[in-house]
Structure 1
């Protein structure tokens, strides 16, 4: 992955600078001049699909009124049995609200304008038509009884959303939403349910979310979407998954390769 990252910087004619994030089997990202360069890999027969195409499809279909890093270019290439994708994106200098964790450890102070920007961005994104499904009914059917001991619900109202709306993917003012590989159709209230779950250790911030978005979270559809979001957070607490914040457990009140030269295409 490190050699792949270095090869991509040469193709894009950008320098490497700063520390690396990720690596191994996980995506590897690093600042590259005025951009951010991210590498993902998969076995050749598993490359492609929703997560592989997420960043590029967001750049094409999600309106610019939704604040996000602009995609500068994409490289695709293969080595023996492995496919690689490099994404060159705008570097966002505003830091995320949290670093290294999706959850808040304490309450934060964000200006009223930040909350207004988040509300506007969610509203603009909700109107985007897409066939991408970020949350599937069959997950609900399999898992709600497991986590809550209740019969599965039928998700009747969906919207287009981010699917990973947590504090490590939201910057401080001005607001920018990061990491777009998962976006797609999901239950109304799901994104806000995720953000609220990751705020339960910061009660004033959690209360602000419920106040700002009561028009969604206090509806039947919003409560159903939040329940699904909490179920997926509980799955993340299960053995074999990285931990989620503890309050989320309570329902709501190879060997190195020599790589061929990658071929660039425009984003």
Structure 2
């Protein structure tokens, strides 16, 4: 239901007051859609790819877990600080947590990089993919159109505000987010 590499094994351990987990997944030969999280070139993906992504995110959203992608305290504190908007009631769903173009293969869809999955505001994954698409307006428009049913809702707006906040907060230390920050600010002006 969710196209992802098969988990082959994992190991948990504690050291120096920290808990660690190592996950071993099968090797995926399909290339990512982009080498960077931020899309810099057109992505000509078939309709079946988009349908598969819809299905994957819909199935994932229904998974029950105690894992968290982002904490409510972060949203309540940081979203107003970076966006000027106080979030209302948050609708939670299970998310991949790091959905961007370097974590998606194409033209056959596989979702990569699963260490951060858990609950997040509804629309969080779609918002992340949209924001990472902003340098390529045609693809950003396609993402927006494909996920309008989530993003264009009050609940989805909180997911998008959260994704904007994370990018803006990371921009001073992550070069590809620094390059994306102005486009995210422009998006916030319309949001």
TM class by shorter chain equals: 0.7 to 0.9
**Corresponding residue for 1:98?**
34
**Corresponding residue for 1:181?**
115
- Asked if the contact 1:98–1:168 (Cα under 8 Å) also holds between the matched residues in 2, the reply is yes
TM-score, reference length from structure 1? 0.64
Instruction: Identify, as 1 or 2, the structure richer in strand.
Output: 1
In the alignment, which of 35, 49, 52 is matched to residue 117 of structure 1? 52
How far residue 157 of structure 1 moved from its aligned partner, in angstroms, is 1.0
- Asked if the contact 1:94–1:171 (Cα under 8 Å) also holds between the matched residues in 2, the reply is yes
**Corresponding residue for 1:250?**
186
Q: Could you tell which deviates more after superposition, 120-129 or 74-83?
A: 74-83
What is the alpha-carbon distance in structure 1 between the residues aligned to residue 162 and residue 49 of structure 2?
26
Structure 1 runs (4+) greater than 4 angstroms displaced = 75-86
What is the alpha-carbon distance in structure 2 between the residues aligned to residue 85 and residue 204 of structure 1?
39
In the alignment, which of 121, 126, 131 is matched to residue 61 of structure 2? 126
SS across alignment from 2:93: strand
SS across alignment from 1:123: helix
How far residue 174 of structure 1 moved from its aligned partner, in angstroms, is 1.3
**Corresponding residue for 2:87?**
153
TM-score, reference length from structure 2? 0.88
- Asked if the contact 2:5–2:110 (Cα under 8 Å) also holds between the matched residues in 1, the reply is yes
What is the alpha-carbon distance in structure 1 between the residues aligned to residue 184 and residue 14 of structure 2?
40
SS across alignment from 2:187: coil
Instruction: Give the direction of change, closer, same or farther, for the CA distance of 1:91–1:235 in structure 2 (3 Å limit).
Output: same
What is the alpha-carbon distance in structure 2 between the residues aligned to residue 82 and residue 214 of structure 1?
40
Instruction: Give the direction of change, closer, same or farther, for the CA distance of 1:83–1:92 in structure 2 (3 Å limit).
Output: same
**Tell me, which stretches of 5 or more residues in structure 1 are unaligned?**
1-64, 254-267
Residue 235, structure 1, aligned to residue 143, structure 2: no
Instruction: Give the direction of change, closer, same or farther, for the CA distance of 1:204–1:74 in structure 2 (3 Å limit).
Output: same
Number of equivalent positions: 186
What is the alpha-carbon distance in structure 1 between the residues aligned to residue 132 and residue 4 of structure 2?
21
SS across alignment from 2:107: coil
User: 1:11-30 residue pairs with structure 2 within 5 A?
Assistant: none
How far residue 98 of structure 1 moved from its aligned partner, in angstroms, is 1.0
* Deviation string, structure 1 residues 117-164 (Cα, Å, up to 9, x no partner): 0000001101101111211111122112321223x2134311111111
Q: Could you tell which deviates more after superposition, 185-194 or 139-148?
A: 139-148
**Corresponding residue for 1:139?**
74
